[in-house]
Amino acid sequence: MSYLRVKVCGITREEDALRAARHGADAIGFVLWPGSPRSISIERAAEIARVLPPFVWKVGVFVNASPQEIERAAGIARLDVAQLHGDEDVERYRSLAVRIIKAIGVAGREDVEDAIALPADVMPLVDAADRDQRGGTGRRAHWDLAAEIAKARPTILAGGLNAENIIDAVEIVHPWGVDLSSSLEDSPGVKNANKVAVFFAAVEPVRSVK
C-alpha cells in the first residue's frame, strides 16, 4: 500500500492550520519569502506552528535564502522541512538539520532531467513554471512530465490542484504527495473552510491505494 501525503501551503492563520490538520493534512506550509502575497514573518510562523499537532510537518518556503537564514528560521519556527523555491544549489543546504524539498517549474525535458538528478535525500516538488511568483499561481503543472519524474523517484505534485482534478492528477502522475494553496483560498493566505473540506473529501479515495 502507498499513502498519498497532502500539504496545505500559504497558511497565515491558526484556524486555517488547525482545520487543515483536522481534515488530515500531513504538512502545513509557511511562506517565508517577502515577495509572496502569502508571506508571513518567522515569528508568526512560530506562533501558528505551536498550535499544530506534533505529527504534522511544518514546512518553511524560501526563495534564494542562505543556509544560515534557513537555519535561523527553522530554529525559531521549529520547522521540519525547508522548501526551496528559487535558484538554489541544493548542495549548499544538505547539511541543514531539516529535510529539503526543491521546487522545479517543469516545462521541458531539461527540467525533468534536473528533477530526477537531485540528490536522493532532496524531494522534488513539480510546479508550474513561474520565475516571478515562485508558486501559488493556480496554474496547472505539466502532468505528463511530472509523471516521468514520479516514475523515477518520489515526487510532490503542485500547481493548480483542486477537488475537481485531484483524482485525475493522482492517477496520471502517481505522486508521493500533493501540495495545495490558492485553490483553497478566499484571498491570498486566507483559506476557505468549505473548499478545504470539499478537497479532503474528494482526495480521500486515492489517499491509500494498492
Q: What is the CATH number of the domain that holds 78?
A: 3.20.20.70
Query: pLDDT at position 208, please?
Result: 76
- In whole angstroms, give the CA distance from residue 158 to residue 142: 10
H helix and E strand count, the chain: 7, 12
Nearest CA-CA partner of 58 in 33, 31, 37, 34: 31
- In whole angstroms, give the CA distance from residue 112 to residue 105: 9
Task: Report how many domains make up the chain.
Answer: 1
Nearest CA-CA partner of 196 in 2, 1, 3, 13: 13
Helical ranges in 56-187 per DSSP H: 67-77, 109-116, 143-152, 166-173
Cell digits of residue 36: 509572496
Q: Is the pLDDT of residue 89 over 60?
A: yes
- pLDDT tier at 139, thresholds 50, 70, 90: confident
Query: pLDDT at position 209, please?
Result: 55
The residue-averaged pLDDT of 78-105 equals 96
Domain around 194: 2-209
Strand ranges, E, within 57-207 = 57-62, 81-84, 99-105, 122-127, 156-157, 177-180, 185-187, 190-191
